[in-house]
Every structure is written in structure tokens, then in C-alpha cells.
């Protein structure tokens, strides 16, 4: 039961994932007493996605546990936003969120938190045996398929995070896994040295890796019965690779189709909603958080894509304060959000943690921290002035924590490194970095 809010200002948040739910909670934490409407197109209350590709699957997996009644949030599940009217730089028209089969919701401010969806080429058809993984329902269906005993081989199209995490789990459960990746190495968004290590893990787990081959199409005999052979296949040039099931894991695209006519600037190519360091769009009453957005980073002078949990978790604090500043002339503008990019992954029994930003690995110097007698290693990428731009820690969480802290403290996100000390895996990383030379 929603009790009436003591003031009549209203905020509508589109997308009931981590970023949307966090924004609701942060608005209340900042003292916002107006109406909050949370529009989400899934039937479930907000849940966390990372566990879904790491072996945890079930109706309650990752429940985020937001109490919308206590927060006095009007949560509307199964409701899809299909458009946003009134957005403009002048901010002189009322904002309205159009909802499929519902009345448009007028709002004084709108927060876009509609996340991202798996990329599936238009001619590829998803079926019972050709699947993607984004939602809890996807995870349950994928798990049921892989554990039913009817799938003994899995083709993973795309050798990046989700594909490799699922591939590593499937291989561990005895399924023959083949990963097909268009690029020349696995995890192609990272430098090739990382992909080579992960390739080694795949080999040890019995996974076949096919590199440098773009998949042109995917087929399922259930929808193309004239084709003989195993149930599903992928087309690679003139040839076919067959298996019992396919996972399409080509990355994600921001869910911003519903903003296409809004006039708000979307990033060409990715379609991400462009926000500044206050998570504000071109219309000062419209904000964006999480996977749906690309945020301007003064630290790196770059527009950084979303796509990782940490941003979805942390940026809503600033977005909520920005909403308040837009609605209340007395509310101060918050400090900008300019976090150092951070994400993690778990695969083949290893924990990988990335921190920092690397514009071109070819121009960076790589230092590897690795002891002969330990399984973990850390790759550090330095610029030409010996500053630590980015780091990937494998089973060395202390390195990741120390680098993150030092990067956050350095003005441009790249603390100075004592290269000789850095190369010694026994030296605490903290003692190898300084925010400014001479400190
Ligand atoms: C399987 C999996 C594993 C992951 N593992 C990791 C990891 O290990 N480490 C890491 O850093 N990150 C990981 N991520 C990424 C991380 O989960 C995301 O960055 C995070 O979920 C983003 O949160 P979000 O709220 O922005 O978007 P989402 O979680 O996508 O939530 C957006 C919500 O908005 C809904 N929506 C979309 N369009 C509309 C509309 N028009 N109207 C209403 N609702 C709409 C969507 O259905 C969804 O419910 C993983 C993601 C997945 C899928």
C-alpha cells in the first residue's frame, strides 16, 4: 500500500534493475519526499545479475531485497516504457513517460535505468536450444537445458565474459564446449596477453577454442526440419559447426530504443544515452545510470560505456542528488561521479579483477607480477611516464584493491609506479604506487 507523499513532485525511473532500484533508495536517503514511480518490464522485483553466470540459479537468485513499500516507491513490474515526450534542452515542456498499454506517466524528473540487452543479429532466431543469458529467467532456462542430460555439446558464440563464464561451468559439468570468437584472441576488449592466459585455462578444461572466425548464422533443426544432423549449428563461412545447444554471447547493447524519438543524444554506434559527470542528459530534468548510459569522465576526457556492476551500484548516489538539485533550487549540485572503471569476473576457478582505463594497450608497457610458486598473477599496464593506467589481478585481490585506491587518488586515474618494485610480486602493490611523483 503506497501512502501519499507529502509533496507533489514526481520522479519516474525506467528500469527496475540494480541501477533503477538503487536510485529509488538513494532518492529517499537524500530526503526526497515526492512521488517515485519505478517502471520495470520484467515480472520480478530487482535482482542481481552476476550470480546468474557463476553457477547460482533459482527463483531467488540474487534478490536485491529492496522494500519498495517501506521506501514508498510505486513499483510497476511488467510495464514497458515505449517513449519519452517533452525532453529538450530548454526543459520547457512537461515530461511524460509513455508506457505500453498504460496511461502516460507525467514526471518532474525522469531517470533512465533501462540497462542493456544481449546482441542478437536480426536474422538469428532464439529457440529452446539457441539461447542468450541476461535475465534470471534466461539463467533458469539455460540451467535446465544444460542439466537435463540431453545436451552433451555446447557451442558458445563469442569468447568474452558471459560466454567464458558459462563455458567454464558447462565444461566442468562434463559438456563438450566449443567457443567461437571472431577476434584473434579471447576477451578481445582486453590486451591479448590476457586472452592467451584464458586460452590456456580453456585448453586445460577441455574446451575447444576457435579464433578469428566470424559466425554468420545460427540454425535449429526444430525450426528448419529439412536440415539433417545434430539439433543446432552455427554457420561459419561455407561450413557448419554442430552441437546440441548454442549460447549466443556477443555482448550487449543499451536498451534505449524507447528513447529513439525523445531527442536526447544517443551515442552513435552503441545507442547508449549520453550523460555528463552528474549523470545528467541534455535535458536537465532527465538523468541516466547503469548499463543504458555512456558517462563523460573528466579524469580520462572520454565517454565511458556502462556495462559493469560497480557503476550501476555507485552512480545512482550522484544521480539522486542531481535529481534533487534539479527539483529544489536550494539543493546543492553533488560532487561529480568520475569513478575509475572496475569490474570482475569468475571463471575456471579464478577471480579476475580489472581496474583502470587503457586507451591503447600497444602503447603501454606491461609489467607482470607473478611468483613461480603461486597460481595468481597481476598484469599492470603503464604509460610512457611509468604511470599505472590499468591492472588485471588474477587471484590477487589485494593488488586490485591497492591499485583501485591509488588510481582513485591520482588526479588523472594513473598513479606513478616504481617499476622495479612493481615487478616484485612479494612487494605489496600499495608500496609501489604514489599519487604524485615525489610523494
Ligand atoms: C549473467 C551476467 C553476469 C554478469 N556478471 C558481472 C560481473 O561478474 N561483474 C560485473 O562487473 N558485471 C557483471 N554483469 C553486468 C552487471 O550485471 C550489469 O552491469 C548491471 O546489471 C547493470 O545494471 P542496470 O540496472 O544498469 O541494468 P539491468 O540490470 O539490465 O536492468 C535494467 C532493467 O530495465 C528493464 N528495461 C529495459 N528496457 C525497459 C523499458 N523500456 N521499460 C521498462 N523496463 C525496461 C530491463 O528488463 C531490466 O530489468 C553481469 C551481467 C550479466 C547479465
- pLDDT mean over 284-309: 96
Per-position b or e across 68-89, b if 16+ CB within 10 A of its CB: beebbbbbbeebbbbbbebbee
pLDDT of 74 reads: 96
Query: Does the pLDDT value for residue 262 go beyond 90?
Result: yes
The residue whose CA has the least distance to atom 29 of ligand 1 is 17
Pick from 126, 120, 121, 153: nearest CA to 229 = 153
The per-residue pLDDT for 6 is 54
* Residue 4: pLDDT band with limits 50, 70, 90: very low
Distance 114 CA to ligand 1 centre (A): 8
400 Cα to the center of ligand 1, angstroms:
24
Ligand 1 pocket by C-beta < 6 Å: which residues? 14-20, 39-42, 49-50, 52-53, 80-81, 113-116, 133-134, 162, 255, 258, 290-292, 307-310, 312, 343-345
Give the residue, out of 43, 257, 309, with the most ligand 1 atoms within 8 A of its beta carbon, to mutate for a pocket test. 309
Tens-place pLDDT, residues 315-332: 999 999 999 999 988 888
pTM of the model: 0.95
User: And the C-alpha cell for 118?
Assistant: 544481449
pLDDT for res 439:
47
332 compared with 296, residue with greater pLDDT? 296
Cell 531527442 found at: 263
Residue 224: is its pLDDT beyond 50? yes
Euclidean distance between CA atoms 199 and 336, whole angstroms? 39
- Domains belonging to the chain, first-starting first, are 10-117+253-327 (3.50.50.60), 130-250 (3.50.50.60), 349-434 (3.30.390.30)
Rounded distance between C-alpha atoms, residue 289 and residue 17, angstroms:
11
Atom of ligand 1 nearest to the CA of 138: 1
Per cent of the chain over pLDDT 70 is: 97
Average pLDDT along the chain: 93
Phi-psi region of 384 (alpha: psi -120 to 50; beta: other; left: phi over 0): alpha
Q: For residues 313 and 18, is the Cβ–Cβ distance under 8 A?
A: yes
Q: Please tell me the distance between residue 249's alpha carbon and the centre of ligand 1 in angstroms.
A: 15
Res. 5: pLDDT tops 50: no
Instruction: Give the range among 229-238, 334-343, 416-425 with minimum mean pLDDT.
Output: 229-238
Model confidence at 28: pLDDT above 80: yes
**Hey, whose CA ends up nearest to atom 20 of ligand 1?**
309
Give the model's pLDDT for residue 222.
Answer: 80
Q: Work out the pLDDT band at 437, boundaries 50, 70, 90.
A: low
Q: Is the pLDDT of residue 158 over 80?
A: yes
Give the whole-angstrom CA distance, residue 219 versus residue 231.
9
Residue whose entry in the numeric block shows the C-alpha cell 575456471: 348
Mean pLDDT, range 192-214, rounded to an integer: 96
**Which residue's CA is the closest to the ligand 1 atom numbered 38?**
114
Amino acid at each position: 500500500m503506497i501512502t501519499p507523499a507529502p509533496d507533489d513532485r514526481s520522479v519516474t525511473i525506467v528500469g527496475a534493475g540494480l541501477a533503477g532500484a538503487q536510485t529509488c533508495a538513494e532518492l529517499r536517503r537524500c530526503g526526497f519526499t515526492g512521488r517515485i514511480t519505478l517502471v520495470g518490464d520484467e515480472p520480478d522485483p530487482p535482482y542481481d545479475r552476476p550470480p546468474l553466470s557463476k553457477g547460482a540459479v533459482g527463483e531467488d537468485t540474487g534478490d536485491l531485497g529492496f522494500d519498495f513499500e517501506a521506501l514508498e516507491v510505486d513499483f510497476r513490474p511488467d510495464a514497458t516504457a515505449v517513449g519519452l515526450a517533452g525532453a529538450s534542452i530548454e526543459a520547457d515542456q512537461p515530461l511524460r513517460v509513455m508506457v505500453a498499454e498504460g496511461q502516460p506517466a507525467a514526471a518532474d524528473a525522469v531517470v533512465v535505468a533501462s540497462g542493456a540487452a544481449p546482441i542478437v543479429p536480426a536474422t538469428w532466431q532464439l529457440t529452446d536450444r539457441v539461447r542468450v543469458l541476461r535475465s534470471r529467467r534466461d539463467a533458469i532456462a539455460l540451467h535446465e537445458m544444460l542439466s537435463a542430460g540431453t545436451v552433451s555439446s555446447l557451442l558458445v558464440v563469442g569468447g568474452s565474459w558471459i560466454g567464458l563464464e558459462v563455458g567454464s561451468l558447462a565444461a566442468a559439468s562434463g559438456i563438450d564446449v566449443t567457443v567461437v570468437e571472431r577476434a584473434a584472441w579471447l576477451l578481445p576488449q582486453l590486451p591479448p596477453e590476457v586472452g592467451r592466459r584464458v586460452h590456456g585455462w580453456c585448453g586445460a578444461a577441455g574446451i575447444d577454442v576457435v579464433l578469428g572466425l566470424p559466425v554468420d548464422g545460427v540454425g535449429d533443426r526444430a525450426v528448419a526440419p529439412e536440415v539433417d544432423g545434430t539439433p543446432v549449428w552455427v554457420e561459419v563461412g561455407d561450413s557448419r559447426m554442430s552441437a546440441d545447444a548454442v549460447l549466443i554471447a556477443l555482448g550487449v547493447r543499451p536498451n534505449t530504443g524507447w528513447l529513439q524519438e525523445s531527442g536526447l543524444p544517443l551515442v552513435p554506434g552503441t545507442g547508449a544515452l549520453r550523460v555528463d559527470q552528474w549523470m545528467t542528459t541534455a535535458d536537465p530534468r532527465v538523468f541516466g545510470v547503469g548499463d543504458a548510459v555512456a558517462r563523460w569522465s573528466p579524469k580520462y576526457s572520454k565517454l565511458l560505456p556502462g556495462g559493469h556492476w560497480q557503476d550501476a551500484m555507485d552512480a545512482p548516489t550522484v544521480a539522486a542528488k542531481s535529481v534533487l538539485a534539479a527539483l529544489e533550487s536550494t539543493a546543492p549540485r553533488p560532487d561529480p561521479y568520475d569513478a575509475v572503471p572496475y569490474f570482475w569476473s569468475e571463471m575456471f576457478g579464478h577471480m579476475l579483477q580489472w581496474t583502470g582505463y587503457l586507451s591503447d594497450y600497444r602503447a603501454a608497457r606491461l609489467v607482470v607480477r607473478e611468483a613461480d610458486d603461486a597460481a595468481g598473477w597481476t598484469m599492470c599496464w603503464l604509460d610512457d611516464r611509468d604511470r599505472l593506467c590499468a591492472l588485471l589481478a588474477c587471484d590477487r585481490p589485494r593488488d586490485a584493491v591497492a591499485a583501485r585506491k591509488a588510481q582513485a587518488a591520482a588526479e588523472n586515474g594513473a598513479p606513478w609506479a616504481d617499476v622495479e618494485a612493481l615487478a616484485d610480486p612479494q612487494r605489496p602493490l600499495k608500496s609501489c604506487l604514489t599519487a604524485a611523483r615525489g610523494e
